Structure 1
Amino acid sequence: MSQNYRSIAEKFIDEIEIKKSRFITYLMPIESEEQAQLYIAQIKKEHYKANHHCSAYILNEDASIQRMSDDGEPSGTAGVPMLEVLKKQELTNILAVVVRYFGGTKLGAGGLVRAYSGAVSEALVKAELIQNITQSIIELTLNYAQVDTFQYHLSKQEIEATVLDTQYTDKVSYQLAIDLLKVESVNHYLISIFNGQFDWQEIGEQRVNIPINR
């Protein structure tokens, strides 16, 4: 069975300034080394006037591929601290690129380590992270009169499910992702609030991206 893993939901860009140097951080989900290198090349082309384009990425569910580049910064002051931030957050299938426009003031080795690790850390705080996990896929069909009640209990996290898709016809059909161990309890909870008046179909199991609440 595939392992669960944490990653980023989508491309995210952030920027900080330290002693007049600009540090622009790109975070991207990736699926291969070729894709990572393509993104790095695109960023270098976009920021061709920048002094450095430092990078770090991790691939595979077991984080077996880890690469980094200082791109001209003193050895160990950029790529390594960036990679360590990704590892500390237990992320994989993710690329981090930090573009630096030199502001005229040297930061020193320690300052560079703090700048590059801080740039990635700050971006990760703002970005949406996900957990890729195997879930049970359920199709739940309700009458329109039941929708507000369902949405209320869902918003209160009393129904432990993630809505993947919603279809509106003469009724409302939700495609839900539910933890494999919680399918029965969710079904029983719905029975209690709707007196069993709903359609419930188990579609199968699927790997899905679930937002991480922080």
Structure 2
Amino acid sequence: MSLFEDTYRTIEDRGEGIFRDKGSKFIAYAYPFKDEDQLKEIIGELKVLHPKARHHCWAYRMSPDRTVYRLNDDGEPSGTAGRPILNVLLSQDVTNIIVVVVRYFGGTLLGVPGLINAYKTATQEVLAGLNIVEKTVNDIYKIEFDYLAMNDVMRVVKEENITVSKQVFDNRCYMEVEVRKMQVNSVIARFDKIDNCTLCYLRTI
């Protein structure tokens, strides 16, 4: 992601695609994916759904800057399953996504080129059936302020079109907000002008 790029491509819904070759069946499942803790649950769910499948191969990409990824061949020859899945995610420039391809062996060996093509095509099939959306890269900030500053804070939130994800209003108030990367400097400058208002960066989504 370049310094001035603040959008990324991803999916919002699950999807399923299928590819067959010489009796083998490759069923691809795509899921929105933002947390590695989801991995065990997704693989477990598919193993229950397909207990007789020979392989459950997968790859994922995460984070708005697309730097986090992992892949797994699950017993297929090295480089023939997880890497082709990942390469499709790279070529279509999608992130915060996992694709798991479940293989039922049909009795005929496909060879390395055949496997690479099968896992690639199954992944292309599932993505072709999904709506790929563009989202903005947002920084999450924690804001703490006195109750008396409420009107000033909410004015900035409204005028800058900031999304509030958490809020607690008391004598000392607390909010978590999402600020689009491109707006960060101007938004921070406005909050800094409000008395007894402090901002703290939490993470980027």
- Which TM class, normalised by the smaller chain length? 0.5 to 0.7
CA RMSD of aligned residues (A): 2.3
Matched, 1:127 2:130: yes
Residue identity over aligned pairs, in percent, reads 42
Q: Determine the structure 1 residue equivalent to 2:115.
A: 112
| Correspondent of 1:61 among 52, 60, 64 | 64
Q: Say whether residues 1:94 and 2:120 are aligned partners.
A: no
> By how many angstroms is 1:36 displaced?
2.4
Q: Cα gap change, 1:43/1:123 in structure 2, threshold over 3 Å: closer, same or farther? A: same
Evaluate the alpha carbon distance shift between residue 131 and residue 71 of structure 1 in structure 2; reply closer, same or farther with a 3 A threshold: same
How many residues are aligned here? 143
Query: 1:158 is matched with which residue?
Result: none
- Pick from 13, 20, 40 the counterpart of residue 37 of structure 1: 40
Q: Is the 8 A contact 1:36 1:57 kept in 2?
A: no
The equivalent of 1:73 in structure 2 is 76
Unaligned 5+ segments in structure 1 are 136-200, 208-214
- TM superposition shift of 1:2: 8.8
**Deviation at 1:85?**
0.6
Q: Distance in 2 between matches of 1:85 and 1:134?
A: 22
Match of 2:184 in 1: none
Equivalent residue number for residue 103 of structure 1: 106
Q: Which residue among 25, 30, 46 is the counterpart of 1:27?
A: 30
Partner AA of 2:19 in structure 1? I
Q: What's the CA shift for 1:202?
A: 5.9
Q: TM-score, normalised by structure 1?
A: 0.62
Q: Distance in 1 between matches of 2:137 and 2:61?
A: 21
In structure 2, what is the Cα distance between the partners aligned to 1:91 and 1:116? 17
Deviant stretches of 4+, over 3 Å: none
TM-score (normalised: structure 2): 0.64
Unaligned runs of 5+ in 2: 139-157, 164-177, 179-205
Aligned to 1:17: 20
